[in-house]
Structure 1
């Protein structure tokens, strides 16, 4: 009994210490400070001549930036209350926020000098490469998140994060993580906003070289996928055959010159009938240190909408599998009207899986314009319910279907490369 109490106390101490580290290298502002005061301070910093000089670059080891955070759901009931959902499970959207926050802390820690002092540089989440949930998270467990730099460019760095259960007294340690994630962070000069060089990375052994190699391969796969973007290039020969087959399938159920109208079978659904939207006003409480809306918060909103859509689509409770790669193309300003639009764009009924795309658009009510910031792609499975086949009926919907199909294929490759990082 005494050992259990000691373990409990030790874990809560580690949790408190990890919170101090996250606060020191934080992507979020001090919420105890007044928002208007912060705006005035930033304006003064950007217009005054007093600027901190750039620090000389420091060769950093991978171990220098390793950062841990804890989610002690079992031992901290107040924390668990904030993370639990209606079903008694963990709200994954909240965990996505924690992942983004930890990735930022790792980036700032890597960019600091040998004394741990921060450089005049700010980091933004440029992209999320992949987030895989490998095992369900339980509210009756404690978890540790560990973030590591795996690749460094001129101003960018790749951050790899693992979430793993912390065993209790007498419990065996599970070597497999419950969740793995990869983020791309980009550094900007605090005063000019231009790309700012970050500390180079020192590789000390073969295992670290393998880690960096896997990160480079993920980067190459993303680059290759970007070059084949459907907005830049037409579908491949194989994809054109897929489109033609879909067109033939569509004509069976549409009243047009090519075929007679027949009701859609119960195991199929039109892609354009799977939409679900939400609108949010972005308040200062969800800002980051750049006084833009925190990317982790946007991921949470998108995840919760995708889950709601998936629940309606399957008429049951789907399980989150992964979040495919995406880029934050534009920041979302405080006060923006944010519209999230979701659709089920791809499904594999034989595997009981489907994909929900969530597009984020900022509405400017004064200019009457809409600007897209990014699109999230969430993958779900539903073992206990039938997953219907998605049928696109327009060319635009067919492109959405192909994009979902591509991401499902590329995601499996990136997932394997992430698994290699665990070894």
Structure 2
């Protein structure tokens, strides 16, 4: 499905810019599951350009819904998944970004979609300035880090009666990694680079396996956070993916009540909780001719599992991954952001 949506976005962009430019996937905004697919049925993919401000990038809003017979009206529960792709136009010779025609809004609905895209663009710039790579954790986060560290000291102190519950697992023990040669059949339209949808598919499948290995239960996909493709993946290169469970919600020692429950039953209660598991996938590529590896992106997926399980960071790097994921989960829950597509809270999309 991710591959189909990426391919659809490429077709839509070409209708906007023409066929004289090279178009590549630059990033994916939040992918959200609206309703689970519980039956075998035909699917309808649709999308449109919703934001292009005259720069080199353009946003395409897409959705996947159950297909209805001709003349049969769609229902809100038919909507399965929504997402937004960001595409960038490049000069086919110089490979440098070129300007994309500005989107003209002719109706209030189109203006609504355009302003939503502008708000997302501003939000992304703000998040980059306040990321943990730019600024230190705030006071609340620093206090939480200290509290988790103190809890670990109790677990390791042989004279202390408290022991690490069996449902709490160190972050370093949750990792899964793969390496694969990028074959020509996975290339994009421009022949030399791997199709972004295939890259996204590989990261999702590894994240699913990582969540399943961590919880020993079947995960249910909830959403994917915004991600950016930082470097292209050439045909013939080796793609390295590492998936890690970096956050669980409710999280370890977020509050006294939650910690008391963990210490009391170790997650073995008769009615296990439904836990959100946040998985981060780090992606790197290395070409055969030299040993230099380049970061191609970081991908963040959220699943739910029908068990009470927790992840525990130990090193400073793991604490930063934990806090970054915690910010992402809280931001998504706070805004409960729904993409402006049919069946949600905005105007319709047309093919």
Q: 1:193 aligns with which of 95, 103, 117?
A: 95
The change in CA–CA distance for 1:405 and 1:139 in structure 2 (over 3 A counts) is same
1:8-407 equivalences under 5 Å are 95-112=1-18, 118=19, 120-138=20-38, 140-153=40-53, 154-168=55-69, 173-176=74-77, 177-254=79-156, 263-290=163-190, 291-349=192-250, 352-364=275-287, 366-382=289-305, 385-407=306-328
Answer with 1 or 2: which has the greater Rg.
1
Q: 1:411 aligns with which of 328, 332, 335?
A: 332
Once residues 60 and 139 of structure 2 are traced to their aligned partners in structure 1, the CA distance between those partners, rounded to angstroms, is 36
Q: Where does the alignment leave 5 or more consecutive residues of structure 2 unmatched?
A: 251-272
Once residues 387 and 373 of structure 1 are traced to their aligned partners in structure 2, the CA distance between those partners, rounded to angstroms, is 33
Cα distance, 1:262 vs structure 2: 5.7
Bigger mean CA deviation after superposition, 181-190 or 211-220:
211-220
Cα distance, 1:234 vs structure 2: 0.9
The change in CA–CA distance for 1:261 and 1:399 in structure 2 (over 3 A counts) is farther
Aligned residue for 1:82? none
SS of the residue 2:106 aligns to: coil
Cα distance, 1:139 vs structure 2: 5.0
The change in CA–CA distance for 1:387 and 1:125 in structure 2 (over 3 A counts) is farther
Once residues 196 and 185 of structure 1 are traced to their aligned partners in structure 2, the CA distance between those partners, rounded to angstroms, is 12
**Which of the pair is proportionally richer in helix?**
1
Cα distance, 1:189 vs structure 2: 1.0
Does structure 2 conserve the Cα–Cα contact (< 8 Å) formed by 1:130 and 1:183?
A: no
Kindly tell me the number of residue pairs found equivalent between the two proteins: 319
Once residues 322 and 114 of structure 2 are traced to their aligned partners in structure 1, the CA distance between those partners, rounded to angstroms, is 33
The change in CA–CA distance for 1:400 and 1:272 in structure 2 (over 3 A counts) is same
Cα distance, 1:371 vs structure 2: 2.0
Q: Deviations over 1:59-79 (max 9, x none)?
A: xxxxxxxxxxxxxxxxxxxxx
Q: Deviations over 1:52-97 (max 9, x none)?
A: xxxxxxxxxxxxxxxxxxxxxxxxxxxxxxxxxxxxxxxxxxx011
Cα distance, 1:222 vs structure 2: 1.6
Once residues 273 and 221 of structure 1 are traced to their aligned partners in structure 2, the CA distance between those partners, rounded to angstroms, is 34
The change in CA–CA distance for 1:123 and 1:170 in structure 2 (over 3 A counts) is closer
Does structure 1 conserve the Cα–Cα contact (< 8 Å) formed by 2:248 and 2:311?
A: yes
TM-score scaled by length of structure 1: 0.71
Once residues 205 and 351 of structure 1 are traced to their aligned partners in structure 2, the CA distance between those partners, rounded to angstroms, is 43
